[in-house]
Structure 1
Amino acid sequence: MKFPIKITLLLLWTVCAAQDCYDAPPRKPTEILTGTWAESVYREGTQATYKCRPGYRTLGSIILECMNGKWESVYPKRVCMRKPCGHPGDIQFGSFDLLEDTEFLFGSRVVYKCDEGYQLVSPVNFRVCEADGWSNDVPFCEVVKCSPVTAPENGKISTSSFDPEQEFTFGQVVQFECNPGFKLKGPREIHCSTGGDWNEKEPQCVEIFCEIPRIENGNILAVKPIYKENERLQYTCNAGFSHNERGDATCTKNGWTPVMSCREITCNPPYLVNGNIQPKKDKYRGSDEISYQCTKGFYPPLTGNKAKCTSEGWLPLPRCNLRPCDYPEIENGELYKPHWYSQEYYRRLFPESIGKVMYYHCNKNYVPAQGSTSSYWTQFSCTEEGWSPVPECFRECHLYSIENGHFWPKKGHYKEDEDITVQCNYGYSLPNNHNKITCTKQGWSTETKCKKIKTCTLRNYFDNGFFSESKTYYLINTAAKYQCKEGYATTDGKKEGFITCGQQGWLNQPKCIKICDIPQFENARYNGNKTFLNPNERLEYECLDGYEITRGQTIGVKVCDVDEWPRTLECYEKSCHLPILQRNLYPDPKQDKYKVGDVLTFRCLNGLKLVGPLSVQCYHFGWSPRIPTCEQEERRCAEVPKPVHGHVQTTNVSYSHGSSIEYDCDENFTMVGSKRVTCNQGNWTQLPKCIETYQLGKCAPKFFEDLQVNLYHNKLGNIVVNYSCNWNSEFKSTECTRGKWSPKPQCPKKESCAPPPQIPNAQEMSTIVNYEHGEKIVVFCKENYLLRGQEEIICKNGQWHSIPHCIEKQPCSKPPAIQYGAVKQVTSSEADDDNLESSTYKHNTILNYTCQEGFKMIGREEIICNMGKWSSPPQCIGIPCRKPPQIPNGAVLNELNTYEFGEGVTYKCHEGFNINGSAVITCIGGIWPNPPQCKDVRCTRPPQFNNADMIGISRRYYFPGDKVTYQCLPNFQSEGSAEVTCIGGSWKGDPRCRDNSCGYAPQIQNAEIISFTKSRYQPGDTVSYKCVRPLKMYGKPDVICINKTWSELPQCKEEVGKCGPPPPIDNGDILSFPLSEYAPESRVEYKCQKFYVLQGSQFVTCKNGFWTKEPTCLGMC
């Protein structure tokens, strides 16, 4: 039983270990299954063999074996890979692109394209790697050609060796130029493009002309509608606009040169020193006009105080000059003026500026201030103080003898205002009755001879007046002076008069009449205008406000010669008297009389409340408003107390505030104190006392009426009274002894003041002494403090009045800076350590200023610190400048004779010169800075360039912006711009003419030229070759001149010994496109595919019709 079991187990194991394949071997895209596979089951171990499909290859066999029921590869690394085709081949003047792949493998596709300027001539432009190699042939590229061109009418083609029928190849350039008087319409040059077309149309030569342009903000001054080359056209700009360069333009081939345009004229606000401009704007337009006013002492120019904005700036230039010299009015003389000036116009040229020199001469019998001169004209000049010397003409008088007398000094010639003393013979006198004659502007002051004397005799007295001179005799035409007594006047109201001696005696008589002089007025006014009043005339006057003649009277009347006539009529200041006040109402200040305007304030005593105004004021009509009162909230009083030895008749139980009752004493008793008591806010005022009459004796109680009193009997039985004055709460005591009060009771009229208060920041006033009414104390402040208020305080009615304040002296900050000046030194009224580096300066510090060189000071040179503020500082004003310096090849715009500080001038260079430096210089302190220079920016004759000629006629000078055009010589082509421009005195531009032609045709071994030969060939020219027999030409027979170089040359070689295509190698290929045949000694290079290594030489050479041994490509281990 054991044996069968073992056999069964062995069979089961055999069945489980062997697994057959139930499917045929799989089909693959790159491999072909060999043999027939029609069985349904294939035993394990069965092998299937594959071969590669066309275009694929592998090393060794590809075998699949049935293993464990599956077909597994016996050699997994063996696969069919795409077969390489080698290099597809390059093309001349072109390239190719490999599409999709990175190597030349089966199925790869390359597409060819030609270089720029070449075109494909083959029917297809691609090759595909097929199983047996590359499809199609390698395509060819030939140069692109353009059609011939023709020269334009009125022009020519400037390209050298031009043939009208020739074709042009890609890149060739044709240049055009026009005959004189014509210009190109279209491009100056065209070139053959990649598409075989010219990049632009051929140009035309049109006649050069310019149409009349439209100028914005301007007008053309045209005389015809069309202008030809080199003709000029003028134009103008509208008001407020100006041309940019010049007012004309020239017609050129490029149009109007320069470009005609009108720019708006604008001006910045002018710089004006010592003046103000109206209206003020940030920007002014052309033709805008301004007016300006100069500060005191400065004047506008002769052209007036208005200026207009122009293209040259402000004209005339606004300026205010220090011109202290007005037109000199020369009496009896003549001021020199140019004969072409009218007198009216010449006067308008004044005032003149400092430094101006002028001339004058005097009329006949007149000499200049410095006396006679040898020159007809006398010179004088304008200074800061005016004309110096002052142009004046003085009279020159002549006298050699005098009739009926003699004189001295004897000089013959006498100057104006010069006197001579004359002594006439007895009985003779000068016509003026004096003994001196003066040379005046009109000649001698009186006739120069002594005449017979006629006189009048003077009376010694007349009514109400007297003669004030002691002479007895008066000459004819002389006057005697008389005066009226006090209270009298002449008939014309004067205190003195004159009578005149005539040919027949006195011409009038003295007369004094009674008058009343208008008196002086104090605090009053008189509305009339008379200086005196006649008898019975009334004088009415009135008092000024706040004044009166007597109480309430403000108008007064006086009658001349009736009332007593005073020298002065006076009105007295009105006043107010202290009003009647309630008992508890206290006034401040308290005095008997008050002036109009004084204010009286009030307060209530004993805790009462003020009802009404706090203060009243004294007016000319009295106090206003009404006087206030002192009141208290009403409290009723209880039943009145009954006095001892006295009685009261009343039945009321209570009494209202203010109610009063009266007491009476019993018989034989006398009342001391007020018999009336009053209810005052719930309390009765002090009750009187009833004292036996015999005890009072002669001590009268009248003094104590209305006083606060307390009575009692001392040990001796005498009455003692304690009393208090109204204004003092302190009680005093007096005793009735033998009918007299001892001490005598009294209340002082005025109270003394306590020691004075200590005023803050004042010197100590410590004292314990009281001061009487009216006494004064002088107050002194501490150092660095100032007294504000009265220097004295005064004691009035127990109070100190007029108390001042001591305020600290405030320091000043740094002094104000002034333009063109600085602080010179520091002085002070106080000893301190101030210096220029201080940040603060003490009160009363004085600083002095100084001006920079070239500047003068206006105002006080010192400032003072006063309670924190500086006084006004001076100003430093620049000294004016004379004419600015001249510069070669330039000029000053709107030049003047003098210029104020800060005023500038503008230089402008002549045409062909540029300004070097700032065009504006400014007058600073009487000195001009160095002016700019005018640099010559003209260009001399244009430069010469190789292989080029200048178009037009050369000039000696060219101005900036001028251009010169060149043209290349035949066989040369322009590179870049053909123009040079004059810029800054030199020519800018570098025209170049490139030689694009080729030299002699190249020599090819074993070949000869079959075309016409030349020494030079233009671009596009061709040379044709043929080989010497029996050699064969390899390459193209024609070579082309392209951009100065020849295209690739052909070769002439023996036809024997040629090789066919190079042999293919596995896993490798050649790097160049394979040809159908190769010339002897030709070389081809090989390259292996990826993962393969080249073994042997990478080059093979064609020798005697056979290739040398090719290399192999081995797989890497």
Structure 2
Amino acid sequence: CDVPPRLPSAELKEQYHGIASFPFKSTVEYVCRPGYVRNINARSVLVCGLNNMWHGSKEFCTPKLCSYPGEPANGRLLLTGKFSFGSAVNFTCNTGYRLIGHSQIHCVVKDEVVTWDRDIPICEPIPCLPPPEIANGEHSGAGKELFEYGASVTYWCHTVRRGERPFSLVGDASIFCTTTDNLNGVWNKPAPECKVVNCEHPSVQNGRLLSGYRAEYGYRDTVLFDCNFRYTINGSDASTCKENGLWDPPLPLCQLSSCEDPPEVHNAVKAKLAGNLFPAGSVVTYECRKGHEFSPGENTRHIKCQPDFTWTEIPRACERIRCPNPDIRNGKPLHIWEHKDNYVYGDRLEITCNSGYTIKGHSKSVVLQCTSDGQWDPAVPECTQEPHCPKPDTAHGREVYKSKNDYTVGTQLRLACDLGYVLRGQEVTECQADESWAPPLPFCDKVCDPPPKIANGRHSGSGQEQFPYGTEVTYSCAEGLSLIGGDSIYCTSDDGVNLAWSGPAPECRVVRCPKPAVERGRMTPQRFTFPYGAAVRFSCDEGFVLRGDAESRCLADGAWHPPLPTCQPVRCPRPSGQEDLAIYSRKLWYEVNETLSFYCKRDGRHSANSEITCSANGTWMPTPTCKKRDTCEKILRNREAFQCGVPLTELKTLLEVQKLYLEIQKLEKEL
């Protein structure tokens, strides 16, 4: 084999140096170079084998490892593998920081020890120069010397004296420190300017301002426009005053986009209008009103909006349709003023026949109407000779009016009856074309005398002059009086010839209500009877309470309203328990003057009374209470014993009892 291969991690031992050829199956041994360490899992020997090639693993030396170098503050370490001999580590800084030193270090051998070839870099904030000053303004960083990455300042303009035009801040009010190369800081935008900006007053012909109106317009003032009716905006409807004193976008134009309202045409209507805007090409149709036309046979016209927004024409007025002159044989117009040379739609003509003639199918006259189709409605009638009706029978009556001397068709007749008789049927009748009277002729019938009157009352027939068979009248009394007898009578006949009332009239008498009685109660005022409308007030005896209305009134029917009240016994509810109070109670309700006993639950507490009583007003009296005895009270009782001259022997006994009581209390507290 030739000379063994040169390895980066190991070298031949000295004993093999200078040998140019090695026999088959001969071996060579390697030692690790500086920076590498022996791999115990692999032999450091190569063997000369077949084909003149060296055989064996060449991974018998592995790189040594450097220690963890650490990370710079505000930065980080970039590594793709281990910290092995010969490897490199890169560093980078966080956003806003720049790297001072070398961005890369290597793992090397120094004095036979693997270590890093240099110190790690540091990351310091990227600085910016102070922000530029502006004329007529200042910024929020005044007096500050250091501006690091991310720092921002805000500019504002100086105020001016009254009457002077104010300064406008042109540009962004705030700028901030940034970087483009991660080394040096720069401000993200140029500083704004403070200058007087004045835009001319915005006006748009055929338009108006919707919002933003001011006396003067300065930088960034915005206005909003709208066009007048029938005008369309060309351009932007909003514009803003820019730093150059011009409006941007430019002020819009309002251009005509519709014809005016189509003209009114007399006796015509505009059909199918789809709004009140008429762009070029819009067509409007006129239709003549009923009974009218533009010309014979033409009742519609069309006009069109032209590109110059004018109408093609203004139609002439619609004229009324004509009807032919009526040819009336043996007849004439009833009213001379209705006669014309020409008749048009809507004209009215009343036709009547000459004497001795009548209109077939009609009574006296017929009214013709000129219709929308140019014809008479009804058709022009024909006058024929007039028939007669029979003379009416006027037994017990007479004719009081007759429109004609004879009884020809159309004759109107009015009849009236003699005294004591009433007309059955219609009083006015007319002779018809079929020679009959319509309505049918009436006849005169007998009547009853007026119904009798009653004192303090009236009947429903007041003001009526005649009372024919079957007429019924109803009686009623004045307020406060009652009707005695039947309330109605009617006109009848017992013999079929003479008429009379069915019975006598009733009477009206004064209404009286009985004395109301309320058990266990009183009333005011005290009487035996009460006239209509009288009011009575009620109250209950002690221990009773009123149920119902306290006042009732006498009605026209002799009854009391509202209904009389009742007096119910007063009762007290079972008293509710208290924390320190025990009450002996076995019922839910107690009558007046019933008593209950109670006692205080805790020692050292007492009550002035041990009984409570149900009072007449439904409450317990006195209110049960428990209160705590205090030492002062006991001392006062002892002082009273001295002042009252109690014998010393009795006083001594009293004091000993008090002492014993106090000792018992002390023991209870200690336990």
TM bracket (short chain): 0.3 to 0.5
TM-score, structure 1 as length reference:
0.21
Larger proportion of helix: 2
TM-score, structure 2 as length reference:
0.33
Which structure would you say has the larger Rg? 1
